[in-house]
Amino acid sequence: MSTKQQIILLAHGSSDQRWCDTFEKLAEPTLTSVAGSRVAYMELSSPSLQDVVAEGAARGIRQFTVVPLFLAAGRHLRKDVPAMLEELEHNHSVSIKLQPPVGENPELGQAIRHVVEKTLSDS
Amino acid sequence: MSTKQQIILLAHGSSDQRWCDTFEKLAEPTLTSVAGSRVAYMELSSPSLQDVVAEGAARGIRQFTVVPLFLAAGRHLRKDVPAMLEELEHNHSVSIKLQPPVGENPELGQAIRHVVEKTLSDS
């Protein structure tokens, strides 16, 4: 990974801090493993996607990859986020690649199976 | 697992079939591995949570465990779902246990790390 690329884990955001706490815990293994990766929020929580891209661009990053911490793509990922990214690319002269939501990766389905099996063995 | 217990994987639901397709794929490893497990939707999609509990109760199931296919708990999981479950328990004389959202399990954080590492190695 080039030091000029940054991974952004994008969560929705909420006025409820407990919501964000869960996403920060979810992101922790990635943040520990992937140098320079950050969490950012679409709305209601900080840091915002706009702030994280602006900070990265100010440090010379020209390529961002956004990995949505969403299980599936709804209106936000199909419309709102692409529009936000297009504006950010224009404003900061950077390139931003939007990945599919993490829930579309088979790894998540396997993890869910493990969670359910653990639930059953504990009950 | 007793044959009189059923796992329900609860997703939000959407008018967009692609949303549901993603949840059905996410659920597939669990549905294959855990006998009798089902997907149900809170709203907008079918089968509804109400229908799945009614069908199970009609087949003699008295205990249900609901595993939310949500990354974090917001208003739905803190308020709406518990109210729905209380009503279903009353209407069908069954017991329904609500588990934390799958995103609160560390397995999901590790799966997300793998997804991001794969994204980087592919790019």
**CA geometry: angle B28, B31, B33, nearest 5 deg:** 105
Q: Give me the phi and psi of A49, to 5 degrees please.
A: -55, -40
pLDDT tens digits, one per residue of A63-115: 999 999 999 999 899 999 999 999 999 999 999 999 999 999 999 999 999 99
Q: Which two tokens stand for residue B44?
A: 């907008």
pLDDT of A3 > 70? The answer is no
Burial string for A22-50 (b: 16+ CB within 10 Å, else e) reads: bbebbbbbbbeebeebbbbbbeebebbbb
pLDDT score, position A36: 94
At B1 the pLDDT is: 42
If you search the block for the tokens 């961002």, which residue do you land on? A64
Q: Looking at this protein, which amino acid is placed at residue B5?
A: Q
Does the beta-carbon distance from A108 to B26 stay under 8 Å?
yes
CB-CB: which of B19, B29, B74 is closest to A72?
Answer: B19
For residue A79, the model assigns a pLDDT of 95
Copy the structure tokens of residue A9.
């884990």
Asked if the C-beta of B72 comes within 8 angstroms of chain A's C-beta atoms, the answer is yes
pTM of the model: 0.94
Closest CA to A103 of A66, A79, A70: A70
- 3-class secondary structure, A114: helix
CB of A26 closer than 8 Å to CB of B71:
yes
pLDDT value of residue A122? 87
Closest residue, chain A, to B120 (C-alpha): A1
- The pLDDT value given to residue A1: 42
Q: What is the 3-state secondary structure (H, E, C) of A9-58?
A: EEECCCCCHHHHHHHHHHHHHHHHHCCCCEEEECCCCCCEHHHHHHHHHH
- Mean pLDDT score of chain A, rounded to an integer? 95
- Dist. CA A99–CA A23, nearest whole Å: 18
Report residue A64 CA to chain centroid gap. Answer: 11
**Contact at 8 Å (CB) between A39 and A95?**
no
Q: Of B116, B102, B101, which Cα lies nearest the Cα of A27?
A: B116
pLDDT computed for residue A4 by the predictor: 79
Q: Which residues of chain B have pLDDT under 50?
A: 1-2
Among A56, A68, A67, A47, smallest CA distance to A94 is for A56
Cβ contacts (< 8 Å) between B37 and chain A: which residues?
116
Residue type, A9: L
What pLDDT does B3 receive? 55
**What is the mean predicted confidence (pLDDT) over A51-66?**
97
Say yes or no: A67 contacts chain B, CB-CB below 8 A: yes
User: Are residues A68 and A77 in contact, defined by beta-carbon separation less than 8 angstroms?
Assistant: yes
